[in-house]
Amino acid sequence: MTSIKTADSAKVTTAVQSVWQQSGFEKPTPGIVPLNELISAYPIWFAEIPYLTPRNAKIFLAKKMGQTPVLYLNSDENLSGFLFAQQNRSVFTGCIFVDANDILARRRFSAAHELGHYLLHFLPVMQELAAAGEEEVMATEGLVYETGNDADNTNASDAWAGKQIVLPGLEIAENIMLFTEPWQETEANQFAAELLMPTETCQTLIAQHQVPFGRKREFLANRLSSELLVSREAITWRLASLGIGG
């Protein structure tokens, strides 16, 4: 009997803490999280692309890298986020793309979600493969939101059939594909939520606002979503997970 793997919250929290440390912060900064600064603590570049699809991502990559990537990305499915990482000598360099047409709160959540995948799911596998002597270690992942609701950030999941970790490709046809699992999506979402809405920051803001607004989650969510540049749904979910309001 096989057991179903579930999200590891402690692992996610540790990963979020490591991001702050890697960026030179002792703890999360108050107010809007400086996401660009956090991402750029890693060898990752970030771009916003209008009408993001796997095919457009590949075209953009080819233009920027001056080299068509050895990747099979020809789908026209709309994506909100895209992650590509590859081994460069001893380091795993990568890029995160988000759809420029998405609203700001969603773009930020998508980028944080992809950073979560990079740290929690891709790096460990890629490092293991590199240690085993594999030479062509690459990974890609695409993010599609389940619903058409722009603000619904908490139900992010991969619906793109091409979501894969491309393991060392001997030939394109011989590539082994590892599909991201639901628990990995949950972890990436938790990672994004904890990164963009740090516990301490939420508690500080709530302490400031609960006098005029009370502890009604709906009112707090309205206020905090604009102060943290996240969607109302995302902050509502986060407040619930922190056991705040009702």
- In terms of CB distance, is 3 or 67 closer to another protein? 67
User: CA of 210: how far to CAs of 228, 242, 245, in Å?
Assistant: 16, 15, 9
Nearer Cβ to another protein, position 64 or 215? 64
Query: How many C-beta atoms surround the C-beta of residue 15 within 10 A?
Result: 21
| Nearest-approach distance from CB 237 to another protein, in angstroms | 30
85 vs 197, which CB is nearer to another protein? 85
Nearer to another protein, 91 or 103 (CB): 91
6 vs 18, which CB is nearer to another protein? 18
Q: Please state the closest distance from residue 17 (CB atom) to another protein, in A.
A: 17
Distance in Å, CB of 90 to another protein, minimum: 6
Distance, in Å, from the CA atom of 148 to the CA atom of 217, rounded to the nearest integer, reads: 24
**Nearest approach, Cβ of 57 to another protein (angstroms)?**
13
Smallest distance, another protein to C-beta of residue 146, A: 23
Nearer residue to another protein within complex by CB, 170 or 177: 170
Nearest partner of 192 among 97, 113, 102, 81, judged by Cα: 113
Token pair for 139 = 């990974």
The whole-angstrom separation of Cα 129 and Cα 131 is 5
Nearest to 192 by CA among 5, 3, 12, 71: 12
CB of 93 to another protein, least distance (A): 5
Judged by the rule CB under 8 A, the positions of this chain that interact with another protein are 22-24, 37, 40-45, 61, 64-70, 74, 86-91, 93-95, 135-136, 138, 169-171
By beta-carbon proximity to another protein, the closer residue of 2 and 90 is 90
Pairing of strands 91-99, 44-49: parallel
Q: How far is the CB of 62 from another protein (least distance, A)?
A: 9
71 token code pair: 């990747």
Question: What sign has the CA pseudo-torsion 22, 58, 121, 11?
Answer: positive
Whole-number Å distance between alpha carbons of 123 and 175: 18
Question: What angle (nearest 5°) sits at the alpha carbon of residue 37, between those of residues 32 and 43?
Answer: 150
